[in-house]
Chain A
Amino acid sequence: MTDEYIVQRVLDGNTHIFSEIVDKYKDKVFSMVYRFTNDYNEAQDLSQEVFIQVFKGLHLYNEKAKFSTWLYRISYNLSVDWSRKNKKRLKQLFFSEENLKEPFDEGSDIEKNFIEKQKQILLRKAVSSLKEKYRTVIILYNYQNFSYEEIAEIIKMPVKTVETRIYRARKLLRKSIGNSNYGGELYEVQSDA
């Protein structure tokens, strides 16, 4: 079933079929919201709110646009609104290992696992300290794996602007992480390109 077909069915009164939309997009929406809030419980509440807003606004969905883009735009708007209302809270966040997955299989070097987790924590801190316009594109591109064009549609910016912001954001992240220089060995120099 296509998204548009499901939308039509819901508008015809078959509300229960909305669960198909939720099942299809919950992972990506939750992941996006979590990257903006950096709080598991907040992300849970906010991502539920995303789907409630999607449900309420289904009659406004214009089939000329892709449904997924429309949905992700709602998710993005709510996430950014939350970030703006909770600026102080974001600055005081304690980044723990709780919600970090094991980067390697069991039995791998424990010390290496630990260092990788600490680097990820450092990176998350650095991302959350970026200005909103840079944080947004980094989350959508590097964490959510959207393309430049998809990001441009979601945040309603030209593709070139998205591209430029991503490059600048990465530059800022390198600078920020380089200054933190966890353990003095954050970057391991490898072989040539």
Chain B
Amino acid sequence: MIKKRLSAVVNVLDGLVVQSLGFNSYLPIGDPQYVLLNLDRWHVDEIILQSISRSRKALGPDFDLLNSISDLQLSTPLIYGGGIRSPIDADSVISLGADRIIVGNLLYSDPYQLSSIVKHVGKQAVIGSVPFSSIIPFIPINYVSKRSYPNFNFLSELLDLGLLSELLLIDYNAEGYSANWNDLFSPMFPSFSVPLILFGGLTSPPDISRLLSLDIVSAVAIGNMLSYKEHAYQNLKRSIESPSLRPSFYSSVL
């Protein structure tokens, strides 16, 4: 039976891994290569590599970043998000080693491109990313323009077209902070017709375990808390004690 996933988020800004706090401030962590090698060695379920501010700066995908990690021989599924605008961008990102891509700003700026992208790389390779306000639940926020929308009907329409394989649902206000997941999001879940990856403030093992028990949730993503301890990922997985996850893996090879 398919397992749920505990995804490791790596945010990269200007070539450096950063700890993101509420989409607004960033603290440096280190070199992406070493962070990714550690996660690969820890056998995380998947890596979500987000090159942030690419869309805000109209820069397109971070090919320098992808080229810099392409020789690492990672054997862990890799999802890339940041600046993808077109089928050519999507193809290029995948040819550099990503298994799936995340589109965020594109859902607002040019949703018609989404259909072309899906045709090129396949629906299973495309994940939509939408931050939602937890101050006023059910309100999606475009993190580039900082604009909020009155409802998520536009998203429901895209999902009904069958263009996304999963949706990365982000708690915009809790992102980067600890044990702050807002349970007011849960009533929204039945509105979505694709599996959800939940991200933002999720650090509490009981919270994570409870969310993973929901049919609609395929994965929970965690970010900042992985950066400061050896085996942070494996220890968290063990604390969650969920049979829906793969067991923790401890490598004996440094």
A-B complex is real? no
